[in-house]
Structure 1
């Protein structure tokens, strides 16, 4: 009887922990999905560099919200609702920009640079998502990493605001991405 009670108690705590972690998992996976949609739009020529940079600013906004809300622990229902609203707005913006009959040659140097940067965003968001799902990243660590992702998204916004990403701008973004990549590795190692 005591064993059964201990198992039920343990399962109850596991269910509570899973319920608290589920919104973070969903939000990080949605970041991956939206970055992939942006990446596909750049690669297909449906998005201009300027549109992509504006969408990256939207991603930065969502990442900053997650950073702010997660640094204090699990998301509240109100925080989750606010993040979902921002993600929905971002999703509509991605759809609008990929279906507005504007575009850009996906083989131009600027498009290839932007596509490369967005692809790296996808990869890093996937690594964060994997860390959250495996339990090797807690809320505070995820918050720090989302702040770093927001910084990179903002750099991409600035770089592409004039419709062109130069080689120098891309190098600066790559330095930030390399720094963030090391931070993801470090944070996951701490949590393991």
Structure 2
């Protein structure tokens, strides 16, 4: 009996580890893409409007991550779909950064967007760290990605006209504060990755 139990236990642990690696890799791509958007704003390669368009795409990726992880599992079809969406978002970031449009990184609007996108990088990094440490389950990551999709959507709406106003930024910051609290709550509860 013991000889059958140990391989099953090891298989279960390895499967959980594979899921964690897959989810962590997905979240790491979110971190990288947000960092590329922020860098594009800082260098003037992206206008505020272009960054807003890219944030709309990031929101779609986060919504799909939420949907895929809702059941706590990430099957091969879901992994493939997320990879395709991430690949498209990556290509779109490249295209927008290398087109003829240039932004003014010193404008108030761009600085607001830079700060908001930097906060996305930080929050996604906290989620990835929670996955790697075992503090976050896939169900918790799903909830957090739904919240991140809301933040990204607010950023996209604010930048749609190419200008992020003070009131729009306060609205985004409110959503980011809410998301930050959710990340802290999920990372410090009693649930741990199995």
TM-score above 0.5: yes
- What is the DSSP-based 3-state SS (H/G/I as helix, E as strand, rest coil) of the residue aligned with 2:27? helix
Residue 120 in 1 paired to residue 132 in 2? no
Aligned to 1:49: 48
Alignment gaps of 5+ in structure 2? none
Aligned to 1:66: 65
Q: C-alpha displacement at 1:12, in angstroms?
A: 2.7
Aligned to 1:161: 160
Aligned residues: 191
Aligned to 2:176: 177
Q: Which structure 2 residues correspond to residues 109-148 of structure 1 after superposition, within 5 A?
A: 109-148=108-147
- What is the DSSP-based 3-state SS (H/G/I as helix, E as strand, rest coil) of the residue aligned with 1:57? helix
Q: C-alpha displacement at 1:120, in angstroms?
A: 0.2
Superposition TM-score, scaled by structure 2 size: 0.94
Q: C-alpha displacement at 1:9, in angstroms?
A: 4.4
Q: C-alpha displacement at 1:6, in angstroms?
A: 6.0
Q: C-alpha displacement at 1:50, in angstroms?
A: 0.4
- What is the DSSP-based 3-state SS (H/G/I as helix, E as strand, rest coil) of the residue aligned with 1:73? coil
CA distance in 2, matches of 1:8, 1:143: 29
CA distance in 1, matches of 2:11, 2:175: 41
CA contact 1:21–1:74 (8 Å) conserved in 2: no
CA distance in 2, matches of 1:12, 1:153: 37
Aligned to 2:12: 13
Aligned to 2:34: 35
Aligned to 2:25: 26
CA distance in 2, matches of 1:17, 1:180: 26
Moved segments of 4+, more than 6 Å: none
Higher mean displacement: 53-62 or 67-76:
67-76
Could you give the per-residue CA deviations for residues 9-51 of structure 1, whole angstroms, max 9, x where no partner exists? Answer: 4433221211222211111111001000101001111100000
